[in-house]
Structure 1
Amino acid sequence: MTAVIRLPDATGQLREYQPRAVPAELAPAGEPFTSRIVFSAAHVVADPFADTNPDGPAAVDWDTTLAFRRHLWAHGLGVAEAMDTAQRGMGLDWAGAAELIRRAGAEARATGGRIACGVGTDQLTGPVGLAEVRAAYEEQLAVVEETGAQAILMASRALAAAARGPEDYLEIYGHLLRQATEPVILHWLGPMFDPALTGYWGSEDLDAATDTFLDIIAAHPDKVDGVKVSLLDAQREIKLRRRLPRGVRCYTGDDFNYPELIAGDEQGFSHALLGIFDPLGPLAAAAVRTLDTGDTAGFRALLDPTVELSRHLFQAPTRFYKTGVVLLAWLAGHQDHFTMVGGLQSARSLPHLARAYELADGLGLFPDPELARTRMARLLAINGVDQ
């Protein structure tokens, strides 16, 4: 039996927790998914031995970062690359993201893995005009298309700052969609993930913003594969999903309500592009394969219990969810350290991390529960919690 571990709670008190002895039993990876398209937004692994600082360029452990992508592909998941889960705009600059896109794109071609990559404007610094925003998007779109990956047009902080109203979004996105060689995924990232995106699509009124978003899609339905919606509002996503043109997919980015949105209803369902599927990879894959058989109840039975962990990791301030994601990757043995680019490993409290460990262990996510317990105990000891 795995030894008891003492964990700090939100009140600062210590309590004993008995970890699982064995991981969850999941069906092995099999045939590709048939009922849903599923992407995991993947994190990057920092190089802990690089002599860097939070203001400098990211130092990435490329071998371990790419090995984690192979882990996701092995379970049948697609990889959503260079997204906010990879710390775009929070430690990973455009130079690092471009290198990540090129390396992961080459790895996807070599292994046959599905990949879509984020296209943004994060090479820009300071106030800029719409012409600079358009040129930055074009530069990044070219990099992604050169790799053969699908493009995800990400929300742009620079565009949010420069746009005067909905007409500017219509002009910029219309130009990019006309230029794209293959259908893209449009990403609506809410301000809970990035406060700089408040008022995106030209209005803080979400109904008005939705109308502008849909106008862009309606003008170019042949160039929009789908939309990724990250607003953490299930009913709003469902209403949007029902208004999409035929053939345009909805990819849920709702890390609070994903089981019900993927399961769908009598009028449709969402595919998935989720940061929580980074730590949930094998379990999420097993759930989707269950759904492929038509067993919606079995799908929900596997995935519903994971929502408590996801809501914990993505609790406000939501943009710091990456810290919990990387913690779980370390505890699961996917990397040898708990270090993040930009020093973001310090962005969550010790009680928060302890609860993330407890919830993940309860789900049986750790292939080696004793390794996870040992590593968690080591982190606690560094912070003054002896076992």
Structure 2
Amino acid sequence: MTLRLPSADGTLRTYEPRTEPLPFSPGTPFTSRTVFAAAHVVADPYADSTPDSPAAVDWDATLAFRRHLWSHGLGVAEAMDTAQRGMGLDWAGAAELIRRSAAEARPAGGRIACGVGTDQITGGSRASLAEIRAAYEEQLAVVEEAGAQPILMASRALASTASGPEDYLEIYGHLLRQSAEPVILHWLGPMFDPALEGYWGATDLDPATEVFLEVIAAHPDKVDGVKVSLLDARREIDLRRRLPRGVRCYTGDDFHYPELIAGDDQGFSHALLGVFDPLGPLAAQAVRALDTGDTAGFRGLLDPTVELSRHLFQPPTRFYKTGVVFLAWLAGHQTHFTMVGGLQSARSLPHLARAYELADGLGLFPDPKLAEERMKTLLSLYGVTS
């Protein structure tokens, strides 16, 4: 059977779906790299909600997806931007997600790290540094009490309030001094969240990098690693070469991840990636090749996925979550294509059709026939007939 898929120019093209998926098997955690997949949340499709309502989450499907990732040896990065923090999921929902996922991780033997931010600060007025510090402390306590590793995320409130680098040094220094265990520091670029423009006290990334490194150098025993999401491979490589010994670099670069994880003769990046949500089993198979020293096999599996990732993360990049959830629906991880905050409407039909085509070509769908039928359903809703 063939499908008629819409192209960006408004024409329809014929596509013949594959009939067999690639074989992927569950496995244990990896030995050569630490790898997290930032996981999405599954909305409750029957909730009577609006884009401004608190998120209505289907907890059973959400937690089942995390078990899927753990079964392949991946860690779960929870309550991050992939889970729509600040784009449909508020702090109350995130706190519940952290508690439930951390409790689920224990019997599954899964690794979990959770986002710590300041998104309980809402409204139009600027928060004080004391309020920002207190918000971070509240969230840090929730993550630590849940038994998860904290990820100190970038704060919209801090970006708005900080008068310069010294405010970042003070806030992050305070948090690192009081954290019980080493944390992951997350530098999220403005392409993922425009409100984070000028983070670390400078719009120029060179002085911003110096402030970021100063935070780490002052507390290297409290920093497990840094997660860099700037979509700039050269900058990430330069940064990781300057990190103190023992501090990991977790790539968050959804454009250049194969080369950054593979590394060079001076080091490599670990991974904390939103694209590993849809790529989970394939990414796991690739990293296991790397565990055996087979870099060519790793690149052979992962390099072909970059076209899909670049498509999902194309500008406006922050809406990549729509494609991630769409692929989870096609793959059978959830029964519907509904998102918290109504974000399923954030990408066009041609964009989604191309995501389907690329993912199907990679063999990502466990049941290609199910994915085909669901794609046909979506096409029919838009008036595309066979």
CA drift of 1:181 comes to 0.1
Q: 2:27–2:71: 8 Å Cα contact kept in structure 1?
A: no
Amino acid in the other structure paired with 1:386: T
* Residue 180 of structure 1: aligned partner: 179
What secondary structure, in the 3-state scheme, does the structure 1 residue paired with 2:76 have? strand
Amino acid in the other structure paired with 2:122: T
* Residue 341 of structure 1: aligned partner: 340
Q: 1:116–1:149: 8 Å Cα contact kept in structure 2?
A: yes
Matches within 5 A, 1:129-278: 129-278=128-277
- Aligned partner (choices 15, 19, 22) of residue 21 of structure 1: 19
CA drift of 1:332 comes to 0.2
- The 1-side partners of 2:19 and 2:135 are apart by 50
* Residue 50 of structure 1: aligned partner: 47
* Residue 383 of structure 1: aligned partner: 382
Q: 2:278–2:327: 8 Å Cα contact kept in structure 1?
A: yes
- The 1-side partners of 2:205 and 2:122 are apart by 27
- The 2-side partners of 1:261 and 1:203 are apart by 25
* Residue 352 of structure 2: aligned partner: 353
CA drift of 1:367 comes to 0.5
CA drift of 1:229 comes to 0.1
Gap regions ≥5 residues in structure 1 = none
CA drift of 1:98 comes to 0.3
Matches within 5 A, 1:272-291: 272-291=271-290
- The 2-side partners of 1:89 and 1:30 are apart by 33
Q: 1:177–1:220: 8 Å Cα contact kept in structure 2?
A: yes
- Aligned partner (choices 61, 64, 71) of residue 61 of structure 2: 64
Matches within 5 A, 1:43-122: 43-122=40-119
Q: 1:165–1:203: 8 Å Cα contact kept in structure 2?
A: yes
* Residue 3 of structure 2: aligned partner: 5
- The 1-side partners of 2:162 and 2:178 are apart by 20
CA drift of 1:32 comes to 2.2
What secondary structure, in the 3-state scheme, does the structure 2 residue paired with 1:143 have? helix
Amino acid in the other structure paired with 1:80: A
Q: 1:116–1:150: 8 Å Cα contact kept in structure 2?
A: yes
What secondary structure, in the 3-state scheme, does the structure 2 residue paired with 1:278 have? helix
Q: Report the RMSD for the aligned CA atoms in angstroms.
A: 0.5
Q: 1:29–1:286: 8 Å Cα contact kept in structure 2?
A: no
CA drift of 1:22 comes to 0.2
Amino acid in the other structure paired with 1:148: G
- The 1-side partners of 2:106 and 2:288 are apart by 24
Residue deviations 1:328-383, cap 9 Å, x none? 00000000000000000000000000000000000000000010000001001001
- The 2-side partners of 1:317 and 1:179 are apart by 36
Residue deviations 1:108-154, cap 9 Å, x none? 11211100000000000132110000000000000000011000000
Amino acid in the other structure paired with 1:325: V
- The 2-side partners of 1:261 and 1:165 are apart by 31
Q: 1:189–1:230: 8 Å Cα contact kept in structure 2?
A: yes
Q: 1:226–1:251: 8 Å Cα contact kept in structure 2?
A: yes
Gap regions ≥5 residues in structure 2 = none
Q: 1:193–1:319: 8 Å Cα contact kept in structure 2?
A: yes
Residue deviations 1:185-221, cap 9 Å, x none? 0000000000000000000010000000000000000
Amino acid in the other structure paired with 1:51: D
- Between Structure 1 and Structure 2, how many residues are aligned? 384
- The 2-side partners of 1:270 and 1:62 are apart by 32
* Residue 366 of structure 1: aligned partner: 365
Identity of aligned residues (%): 82
Q: 2:28–2:72: 8 Å Cα contact kept in structure 1?
A: no
Runs ≥4 in structure 1, deviation > 6 angstroms? none
What secondary structure, in the 3-state scheme, does the structure 2 residue paired with 1:372 have? helix
- The 2-side partners of 1:32 and 1:143 are apart by 26
- The 1-side partners of 2:298 and 2:271 are apart by 14
What secondary structure, in the 3-state scheme, does the structure 2 residue paired with 1:66 have? helix
Amino acid in the other structure paired with 1:56: S
What secondary structure, in the 3-state scheme, does the structure 2 residue paired with 1:40 have? strand
What secondary structure, in the 3-state scheme, does the structure 2 residue paired with 1:35 have? coil
* Residue 292 of structure 2: aligned partner: 293
Note if 1:332 corresponds to 2:327.
no
- The 1-side partners of 2:154 and 2:301 are apart by 32
TM-score, normalization: structure 2?
0.99
- The 1-side partners of 2:187 and 2:29 are apart by 27
What secondary structure, in the 3-state scheme, does the structure 2 residue paired with 1:43 have? coil
What secondary structure, in the 3-state scheme, does the structure 2 residue paired with 1:226 have? strand
- The 2-side partners of 1:7 and 1:201 are apart by 44
* Residue 34 of structure 1: aligned partner: 31
Amino acid in the other structure paired with 1:180: S
